[in-house]
Amino acid sequence: MKKISILLMLMALVWACTPQEEIIPNSPATNLASDYSADFLRDWFKLECRVVKETPGFLPPQAARAFGYTGITTYEAVYRGIPNAKSLAGQLNGLSPADMPQADALSIRYHWGIVANAAVAEMMRLQFGKNLSEKNLTTINEKEAGYHTQFAPDAASKLVANLSQQLGKDIALAIFEYSKEDGGHEAYLNPFSKPYIPVTGDGKWVPTDANNLTPMSPHWKKCRPMLASNMAFAAPVSPIAFSTSSQSDFYKAAMQVYTIVSRKSAEEQEIARFWADDPFATCTPTGHTFNILTQLLEETGATLEKSAVGYGMLGVAENDAFITCWKVKYDFNLIRPVSYIQKYIDPAFKTVIGTPPSRPTPQVTRPKPLWASGCSSSCSPTATACTRSRTGRNYSTASRCGSSTISNKCRKSALTPGFTVESIITWTISWAYS
């Protein structure tokens, strides 16, 4: 009891010695996240795309998780500056309000740009952890310091700038601690979950190249979703029944793939390349969709408020989409088109793309079961996040990730962005080239 009393006295003494003019009370009506530019935040997510591409072990599931936690960290850093906004603590699966740092935004006029800058930088350092290169770590540190230096003069005082920075780091650390219990912590160190014995049998996945004899992240379906309801609500329907009969729907779908690949249409190959999203050549399907959101936010001049909400929404959606997708993949373990065609239609059949032309390695398809498609899983939540983070209106733009419009590519490479029986045929066509 005596120790507690002494501690309280010391805290009171420190507060009394702090220049009170440096702690300027906040007025929610005059310190809104909507008054802050989000240029710096979009810059951070562009960097995360590069870091995902350059960091070993970040295959599509691991990348979706990384972008997901960065997204919710961004929102948590800013929500106090958004009227009527609520913390995700108490809403996300397993995240309690007691887990998050407490901050009185009425007593301290936090600089939301500084808070978000520190939060995203810290989360990136923590998430990419042991595999983060020295080069990228230096880039993260320098970017954080540069933006802090840029924003600090706009803070109410030097002390408030420091408190804002500390709040951001505390938020990132709290979210990182939350992430450690989701089943995917440091999965980048063993992304193929070796040792693993693949399921065998007719119509089951088989290795498509000698370098990947086990499939990608077979245990990812056990990861904790951010929204528990997503595992039931977003579950896709079953794929077309496997069959080798030439009269079956499965065989006809494979023949459609075979015919399209054989004719080598330049337009269809371009569509396939746009959605290829190869790990380490690109920043994966989730990185692609975050780039699309970033572009839309940039083109519309979205504020820090709208950007933080958009990234937070997409982060939850993408994280859970890949858990659901991977659950279905390993519930069915469905054979990939190239393996089926080579065994039942044409042994000489080869894919068109798979690795970048600049890489000398043979072009191979992805080492994972076919159904359901990762890009298809990623497309629908992106469409929702993009429209809701704007005005709810449809939006079409020339994507900087490719040469054709987003709307055209989504329409041509998938009959619907969600999960339908037909989508296995259409997505198989799109993926036939890989």
Per DSSP, the residues of 322-344 read: HHHHHHHHHHH-BPPHHHHHHHH
Of the pLDDT bands very low, low, confident and very high (cuts 50, 70, 90), residue 104 is confident
Is the pLDDT confidence value at 24 over 60? no
Long-range contact list for 191-195, CB < 8 A, 24+ apart?
A: 191/57, 191/58, 191/59, 191/61, 191/62, 191/216, 191/217, 192/216, 192/217, 192/218, 192/367, 193/217, 193/218, 193/219
- Cis peptide leading into residue 234 (ω within 30°): no
Q: Per DSSP, what are the bridge partners of residue 37?
A: 303
- Predicted local confidence at residue 271, as pLDDT: 77
Q: What is the mean pLDDT of residues 244-264?
A: 93
DSSP structure string for 132-173: --HHHHHHHHHHHHHHHHHHGGGSS-HHHHHHHHHHHHHHHH
Q: What is the mean pLDDT of residues 157-178?
A: 97
* pTM, 2 dp: 0.84
- Predicted local confidence at residue 351, as pLDDT: 81
- Structural domains of the chain, ranges and CATH numbers in brackets: 21-179 (1.20.144.10), 196-432 (1.10.606.20)
Q: Indicate the average pLDDT of the chain.
A: 82
Q: What is the mean pLDDT of residues 164-188?
A: 98
131-135, 150-154, 284-288, 422-426: which range is least confident on average?
Answer: 422-426
Q: What is the mean pLDDT of residues 131-155?
A: 98
Assign 405 to helix, strand or coil: strand
Tens of pLDDT, residue by residue over 379-425, are 777 777 777 665 344 544 444 543 333 333 333 333 222 222 233 33
Is the pLDDT confidence value at 3 over 70? no
- Predicted local confidence at residue 381, as pLDDT: 72
* Residue scoring higher pLDDT (327 or 229): 327
Q: Per DSSP, what are the bridge partners of residue 303?
A: 37
45-59, 153-167, 284-298: which range is least confident on average?
Answer: 284-298
Tens of pLDDT, residue by residue over 320-330, are 999 999 999 99
